[in-house]
Amino acid sequence: MITEMERLKGELKALNAEYGKIKDVPAEKRGEFGRELNVRKQEILGKMAELESEVLNAEVESLDVTAPMGVNEGISELLTADNGSKHPLMVEMDRIIEIYRSMGFEAVESRQLDDEFHMFDSLNFEKGHPARDGYDTFRTEEGLIPPAHTSTMQYRVLKANRHKLEKGEAIATVVPGRVFRNEDVDATHEHTFYQCEGVYVSETCTLGDMLGILREFFEKYYGQKLDIRTQPGYFPFTEPSLEFLIEKPKTLGGKKGDYLEMLGCGMIHPNVLKIAGIDPEKYHGFAWGGGVDRLVMLKYGLDDVRNFEAGRLSFLREF
Ligand code: DAH
C-alpha cells in the first residue's frame, strides 16, 4: 500500500522531470510554463511538510506490529534512521562484546530457533532427567525449541573451532543471544531476554583462569574493582558447576557483604567435549552464561525487566 508521503514523493519526481521539457516550449511561453511548475512544486512541498509535522506531532506511543495493514501508516515516517535509535540492551551488548574482544574472544550470535539436540542432548542432559524441565522451554508444533539459554551454541562453537586445538591455539568465543522461557512474567522475569555465553578450551586452562576472566569482565563493565565469590551450582554440562557472584558495586548502592549472583559457570563436562569431537583426556575447557538484562538493570538502577520488551518509547528515550 502506498502511503500519502510516497504518493507525494512520486508526484514531485514526475514534476521535476517536467522541468526538462522547458527547452521544447516556445521561448515566449517559457516564463508561464516555469511559473506554473513552480506553483505546483510549492503545493506538493507544502503538503509534504504538513504531513511530516502531523506525523511528528502525533502522540505515537508505539508501533503496533500486529496491526492490520494501514493502521501504522504515517508511523513508518518515524522509523527512518534519523529518528530511530539503538535499543539500550543492544548498546550494552556491544559494550559487553567489546570487553570480551579486548581479552581475545571472538563473538558469534546465537540463533532464535533450535532443537532438542542442541538444547539438551549435546549438553549432557540425560533423557528423562528432571533438569530438562528446569528450563521452561517453549516448543513449536514441529517440536523445535526457541533456545532457553545460549548454551545451545556450545556444540556448534566447539565443533567449528576444534581444528584450532590441534594447532596449539585455544577456542575462545562468546555468544550473545536472545533466549526464551515459558515463565510467569513479573518485574524480574521475562519470557524473552538476553544472555551472553563464554566458551574457552585449551590444553592447559584451569578454573582459576575462568575466574580471572570473569572478574576482569565485571570490573571493566562496572568500571571499578570488585570482590568476587563462587558457590556450588548444578548444570549437567559442567563439572564442577559454580554460581558466580560479584560484590554489589559501591557506586550502585552496594554495602559491604552485598553479593549478587551474576551467572552460572564451570569446567565443561568431558561428555560435552566428547560429543563435539574433542578429546577430554587432552583438552579442558570452561564455560559460563548469564543474563544481560540483569547486568544492565544493575548498571542503571532499573527495577522492571519488562520495560525492555514493552516497546514503550518513554522508557527507551531515557537512554
Ligand atoms: N545456561 C545456564 C543457564 O541459563 C547458565 C550456564 C551455566 C552456562 C554453566 C554455562 C555454564 O555455559 O557452563 O542457566
CA distances from 270 to 67, 123, 143, 154, 214 (A): 50, 10, 28, 13, 22
Please say if the pLDDT value at position 69 is more than 80: no
pLDDT confidence band for 56 (50 / 70 / 90): low
Question: What's the CA-to-centroid distance between 17 and ligand 1, angstroms?
Answer: 62
Pick the more confident residue, 203 or 3.
Answer: 203
CATH of domain 88-316: 3.30.930.10
**Quick one: average pLDDT of 245-255?**
87
* Dist CA 105 CA 9 (whole Å): 47
Q: Rounded mean pLDDT of the chain?
A: 90
Q: Which ligand 1 atom minimizes the distance to the CA of 198?
A: 12
- Which residue has cell 517453549? 138
pLDDT given for residue 114 in this prediction: 96
197: left (phi over 0), alpha (psi -120 to 50) or beta: beta
pLDDT given for residue 117 in this prediction: 96
Domain-wise residue ranges, the chain: 4-78, 88-316
pLDDT given for residue 20 in this prediction: 83
Nearest one of 160, 158, 157, 135 to 145, comparing CA atoms: 135
Q: Which ligand 1 atom minimizes the distance to the CA of 195?
A: 4
Q: Ligand 1 pocket, 197 CB below 6 A?
A: yes
pLDDT given for residue 55 in this prediction: 67
